[in-house]
Amino acid sequence: MDYRTTTQEVYTIFARQALASRGVQGHYLVIPTDAEVHMLAEDGHSGYALIGDTFCGVFSHEKTGGQRLGPMLTQAKAFLRLQGLWTLRLDCFAPLAKVYERHGLFDVHRQPVEDGYLPEGWPEELGRPEVVTMMAYTR
């Protein structure tokens, strides 16, 4: 799957549609307004954004069957390598760390989420998750 650069506005439209396809409310969508690059799949069903070497704002439509993360990470690493950057970094909540580990990222730091940074409507019964900083080499 090829990913091409797009505008933040187009990226936001497709990201909201993808999350709605999974029954996710819009307030869980974090649109990286300071992203330097917005990438969108040819079919519009998945995308990601980059802020420097940081992978952020990942989304995937239910139609993709959850099979897009690997190709997104592969293309993001290739894109960063072309920019002369040798690492890919991301932050995620601890439950997602295992998913990213399967795609070659490794855990470099963990810390509890700080007050004010939990998404609005976060279920109290899930407790306060850890934020995991992960990294992968782009070579």
What is the domain-level CATH number for residue 62?
3.40.630.30
Prediction pTM value = 0.78
Domain count for the chain, please give it. Answer: 1
How many CB atoms are closer than 10 A to CB 30? 13
* Residue 105, both tokens: 């990222």
**Above 60 in pLDDT, residue 20?**
yes
How many CB atoms are closer than 10 A to CB 120? 7
In DSSP terms, which residues pair with 56 in a beta bridge?
Answer: 49
Enclosing domain of residue 26: 3-137
What are residue 67's phi and psi, to 5 degrees?
Answer: -100, 15
Q: What is the pLDDT of residues 26-52, one digit of tens each?
A: 445 566 778 888 899 999 998 898 999
Alpha helices in the chain (DSSP H): 8-21, 69-82, 94-101
